[in-house]
Amino acid sequence: MKDGNCPKCGSGEVYSGADLLLKGGPFASNSIPVSLTSLAPMDNYVCVNCGYVERYISEPSKLKEISKKWDKAASDKNDEQSGE
């Protein structure tokens, strides 16, 4: 999707909101909660042909934070290193 091609319909009419100034600001609705005190701004990629939307978190620090605070979805993969 980031390469400008829609994975759903194959159209090349993909637009990016990655440079929108409002995404990480106080009025940002384009973000997801990471914890009680932390929001991660999202980059949106929209196909204007079929309407498909993909979203990415652009800040590496937020991705790291999520990996620490959130539960892993598929726990059957890297389960070997479950030392406490």
Which residues are at the interface with Zn ion (CB under 5 A)? Answer: 6, 8-9, 11, 47, 49-50, 52
CA–CA dist 19, 60 (Å, integer): 17
Q: Which is nearer to Zn ion, 14 or 40 (CB)?
A: 14
Q: How far apart are CA 57 and CA 1, in angstroms?
A: 14
Give burial (CB, 10 Å; 0-12/13-18/19+) of 55.
Answer: middle
* Closer CB to Zn ion, 9 or 22, in the complex: 9
Write down the least CB distance from residue 31 to Zn ion, Å: 24
**Rounded Cα gap, residues 61 and 40, in angstroms:** 9
Write down the least CB distance from residue 56 to Zn ion, Å: 17
> Smallest gap, in angstroms, from Cβ of residue 34 to Zn ion?
29
Measured from the CB atom, the residue of 22 and 53 that comes closer to Zn ion is 53
